[in-house]
Amino acid sequence: MTKTRVIAALIMAPVAICAILFLPTAWLAACGALVFLTGLWEWLKLSGVDDTLSRTVLLVLNLLLMVLLVWASANQLVLFQLASLAGAAWWLVALVWLRFFHFGADHGGHARALKLAAGTLAIVPAWAALVLIHAEKPSGHYWLLTALVIVWAADSGAYFAGRHFGRHKLAPRISPNKTLEGLAGGMLAGLIAAAAFGTLAGATVAQLPALLGVAAVTVLASVLGDLFESLLKRQAGAKDSGNVIPGHGGVLDRIDGVLAALPVFVLGKDILGL
């Protein structure tokens, strides 16, 4: 499984990097919407929406929300900024939800509605943050790559550190395989990636402490996104969100950390002036 996981990553990563570096923002926004909405499709299934027609309608409504953001922000990106801020705020709520992990486990209408709303609050702001970062001139594409590489490096670092050194459970009732040692390994890998790619994006030596601070919070946010998806899967009785990516599960399994990380990264970047 590790070999399959690595091979799949080696195929996906170059495609994603080329898209970030060479596509215009409008085209990247379209590609990002496709990926994120595929993740939302899996989120809806985990939330108990089994009917294909119902899921399709909900997916189209979220697509229309994205289109509305683009249309309303034709001349300025204020709404994208507000959406990103709403996304960061939502993940603080998700942190409390994880503390009370039995909340929403009854699969009733009330719990399902909350999970559907959570799906929109996770997917649309993350997509808005992706567009916002990439649209920044002159090096937005490098900053987006930095944000994503931080998450990818943290995920890989946590995976391998956890496998080799993991002893102490991070959240045993939600995700038994995650450990504090894995978190430490992921944090270290994420900070190294931030220093390397942030410099490529134009961060100066004087900005390095701020960059590392944003990266640290971004790594923690990515772990939060991962844990929340693990909660959804545990409550749904599913091992993976899907099976479209060999060794990785579904699309949501690959973007869960990104969903939480991107709004936090763009917010931290703006606050600290990076």
pLDDT band at 6 (very low <50, low <70, confident <90, very high): low
Average pLDDT, the chain: 89
User: Largest Cα–Cα distance in the chain?
Assistant: 53
Band (36; pLDDT cuts 50, 70, 90): very high
What is the span of the domain harbouring residue 69? 2-271
pLDDT at 250 over 90: no
Average pLDDT over residues 178-200: 94
* pTM of this structure: 0.92
pLDDT number for residue 75? 73
- Give the total number of structural domains in the chain: 1
Q: Amino acid identity of 104?
A: G
User: What mean pLDDT is predicted for residues 138-155?
Assistant: 94
pLDDT at 64: 96
Q: What is the pLDDT of residue 247?
A: 52
**DSSP assignments along 40-100, one per residue:** HHHHHHHTT---HHHHHHHHHHHHHHHHHHHHHTSS--HHHHHHHHHHHHHHHHHHHHHHT
Confidence of residue 183 (pLDDT cuts 50, 70, 90): very high
Task: Dump pLDDT digits (tens) for 81-131.
Answer: 999 999 999 999 999 999 887 777 776 667 788 899 999 999 999 999 999
Helix ranges, 136-273 (H): 140-165, 180-201, 208-236, 251-271
Question: Which band of pLDDT confidence, cut at 50, 70 and 90, is reported for residue 245?
Answer: low
Question: Over the stretch 46-88, which tens digit does the pLDDT of each residue have?
Answer: 988 888 999 999 999 999 999 999 998 877 788 999 999 999 9
Whether pLDDT at 242 is above 80: no
pLDDT at 274: 85
Residue 244: pLDDT band by 50, 70, 90 thresholds? low
pLDDT at 173: 86
